[in-house]
Amino acid sequence: MHTHHSALGVAATLRPVQPVTLVRPHAARRAARFFVEKFPGTSMYAVKANPSPELLRELWAGGITHYDVASIAEVRLVRQTLGDAATLCFMHPVKAEEAIAEAYLDHGVRTFSLDSREELDKIVRATNGATDLTLCVRLRVSSDYSKLSLASKFGVGVDEAPALLLATRQVADALGICFHVGSQAMTPHAYGNALERVRAAIVAAAVTVDVVDVGGGFPSVYPGMEPTDLEHYFDTIHRGFESLPISYSAELWAEPGRALCAEYSSVLVRVEKRRDDVLYINDGAYGSLFDAAHVAWRFPVKLVREKESAARPLNFSFYGPTCDDMDHMAGPFALPADVQAGDYIEVGMLGAYGAAMRTGFNGFTAGDTVTVTDEPMASLYMPAEQPSTVVEIA
Ligand code: PLP
């Protein structure tokens, strides 16, 4: 794998025809260290956000020892990449019975989530009535404070939660309660309110709870979305957790995806055509810009030229490379007004749910992956006074 200082070095030397993924291992390791040092419990990385083996190794080096996996393919990948020392938790509440059996028997997975009696029965069957399980009941909580809802699909409602908690307690060696406040939660209240639901469920069921897992949802920084410091989130969670009616030995877990990997990568794209304020670029809705297209997410952009443009900024939208009208990213993306075909653009903060969403539709696939050593276009973890970009040829 090549290494360059920045996107400019890659554009100048490689003149890439396909989109190039620029990875910043140092940014992933910094995010991992932050969670390991500051989150008041165990942080497990939600592998779905970006399953790259290089990223997994970087997070491991940064101190992340626990991994939230959601499919048998993710179970195998993490085992293969990180070996037996990694702890895997299978936190998808609806799993194939065969996947549970393989995870338990072949990969040492002992923690599973569920949100129904059917899933509990499935886990008991697939593990042959194992007595060494940590089972986490997924509670339905509000996604009101988050940019992407996860409130409809999974989770048991407050009314049915007590019965499921009691039934799970009968089977589990350790009983957990988990939830997910939705992705990119813009205020710590999201967690405070969800922990109130947890309290109500514990009181109603009168069970002993060994694990409280606050899920993912920790935000990253994007244009128009600048969350407060993660430490405020951690404080709110810590206070909420400490006030629950649980024993002193109960554990606090989280499953950050986005916050651990958003800064890890960006994508260098080429402009193939300009039509007024619309740029036709070589990556899009079926590539790493899925969220930019489907949920109108705004990512930071930067024109990558040796001589910086003096033109005023103009708002652009993008079309991706496939023959589909839906391959459209509305933005707006602010770039110098003189951008033209042949120019390269760096689209930042694509480490989470970027590369992970890529398809090969229409024959447009990923190009090279290149390591760069400059800073990401935004950061939750860097001191504010540090410049976020450095322009210089590698
Ligand atoms: N945990 C579970 C169960 C999830 O479904 C997800 C995302 O869908 C995550 C963790 C990661 O969420 P985020 O990337 O918002 O931190």
Pocket test for ligand 1, best of 92, 112, 179, 180 (most atoms within 8 A of CB): 180
Per-residue pLDDT tens digits of the chain, which is 394 residues long: 689 999 999 999 999 999 999 999 999 999 999 999 999 999 999 999 999 999 999 999 999 999 999 999 999 999 999 999 999 999 999 999 999 999 999 999 999 999 999 999 999 999 999 999 999 999 999 999 999 988 889 999 989 999 999 999 999 999 999 999 999 999 999 999 999 999 999 999 999 999 999 999 999 999 999 999 999 999 999 999 999 999 889 999 999 999 999 999 999 999 999 999 999 999 999 999 999 999 999 999 999 999 999 999 999 999 999 999 999 999 999 999 999 999 999 999 999 999 999 999 999 998 999 999 999 999 999 865 554 454 444 3
Into how many domains does the chain fold?
2
Residues 170 and 29 reside in one and the same domain: yes
Residues 303 and 208 reside in one and the same domain: no
Residues 197 and 124 reside in one and the same domain: yes
CA distances from 24 to 11, 21, 62, 245 (A): 16, 10, 13, 42
> Which domain CATH number covers 343?
2.40.37.10
- Tens digit of pLDDT for each residue in 89-120? 999 999 999 999 999 999 999 999 999 999 99
- Cα–Cα dist 392/394, whole Å: 6
Owning domain of residue 281? 3-22+263-372
Give the pLDDT of residue 394. 38
Q: Is residue 387 part of a domain?
A: no
R_g of the chain computed on alpha carbons: 22
Residues 207 and 113 reside in one and the same domain: yes
Whether residue 302 contacts residue 315, with contact meaning beta carbons closer than 8 Å, is answered with no
Residues 131 and 242 reside in one and the same domain: yes
Q: Is residue 232 part of a domain?
A: yes
Q: Which atom of ligand 1 is nearest to the CA of 259?
A: 16
Q: Which atom of ligand 1 is nearest to the CA of 182?
A: 15
Residues 51 and 197 reside in one and the same domain: yes
Give the pLDDT of residue 392. 42
Q: Which atom of ligand 1 is nearest to the CA of 49?
A: 14
How far does the centroid of ligand 1 lie from the alpha carbon of residue 380, in Å? 18
| Prediction ipTM score | 0.98
Residues 115 and 230 reside in one and the same domain: yes
Residues 223 and 290 reside in one and the same domain: no
Residues 34 and 122 reside in one and the same domain: yes
Q: Which of 210, 230, 261 corresponds to the end of one domain?
A: 261
Pocket residues: Cβ below 6 A from ligand 1? 46, 48-49, 68, 91, 150, 180, 183, 215-218, 255-259, 352
Give the pLDDT of residue 196. 97
Q: Which of 261, 286, 311 corresponds to the end of one domain?
A: 261
- Tens digit of pLDDT for each residue in 218-229? 999 999 999 999
Residues 217 and 113 reside in one and the same domain: yes
Residues 224 and 290 reside in one and the same domain: no
Number of residues that make up the chain? 394
In the chain, which residue ranges form alpha helices assigned H by DSSP? Answer: 7-14, 25-38, 53-61, 72-82, 97-107, 117-126, 161-171, 189-205, 230-242, 258-261, 290-294
How far does the centroid of ligand 1 lie from the alpha carbon of residue 271, in Å? 33
Residues 257 and 275 reside in one and the same domain: no
> Which domain CATH number covers 126?
3.20.20.10
